[in-house]
Amino acid sequence: MDEQSEVGMAKSIVAISGSPRRNGNTMTLLGWFLDGVRSEQCDAEVISAAFLELKASGCTSCRSCQKLSEYECVIDDGMKPVLQKIAQADVIVMATPLYFFSMSAQIKAVLDRMFSLYKWDNAAGTMRTVLTGKKLILLASAYEDAGLDALEAPFKLTAEYSGMDFESLIVPGAGVSGEIRRIAGLPEKVFMLGKRAAGS
């Protein structure tokens, strides 16, 4: 029996950044998180939602995905493979700054297009989704401390509705881009979250 069989298969983790800044607070948080993931001999694929080539910025409500047996979006653009990775992952990480008391538009586009990962039967009043049993993690930062509950709520509700475990780490008072690095003890805290996410 090889070592991987003895310790179990490594978790599949996809991390999606919703910040248009390549080296700002959001990517700093993700970097610390990934350090924790890698400490468990695991890895995560990082996707920058701000730089995807999209034909539609959000769900167009065509509902064509509901006619498919597969859980996928019919719009063939840069979001389609991201949704496929989300469907296959064990752990989904959403990282976003707080913009006007909510998530960034780039992360909202991902959430809206995740409509295709559900199947509803309105007549029967039932819902099925490939997200059930996964873990959803929110990493977020805000310049000050206003609007944090409003930022977290859509992610928490999505997890509850979908049967996913949920955990969040939201950093108030992070300041402008890059200033999050001055917060004592934060790198270690985020590192441990990544370590737990990758662990059994």
Q: Dump pLDDT digits (tens) for 133-166.
A: 999 999 998 887 878 888 999 999 999 999 999 9
- Residue 8's pLDDT is 53
> Does the residue 45 lie in any domain?
yes
* 151 contacts 102 by C-beta, under 8 angstroms: yes
- State pLDDT tens for residues 39-66: 988 989 999 999 999 998 889 999 999 9
Strand partners, 130: none
| Angle, CA 72 vertex, CA 89 and CA 119 arms, to 5° | 95
Does the predicted TM-score (pTM) go above 0.85? yes
> Does the residue 35 lie in any domain?
yes
The pLDDT of residue 81 is above 60? yes
* 70 contacts 60 by C-beta, under 8 angstroms: no
> Does the residue 31 lie in any domain?
yes
How many folded domains does the chain comprise?
A: 1
> Does the residue 108 lie in any domain?
yes
CATH at residue 189: 3.40.50.360
> Does the residue 69 lie in any domain?
yes
> Does the residue 22 lie in any domain?
yes
Q: How far apart are CA 82 and CA 80, in angstroms?
A: 5
> Does the residue 187 lie in any domain?
yes
> Does the residue 1 lie in any domain?
no
Strand partners, 135: 91, 165
Domain hosting residue 74, numbered range: 13-198
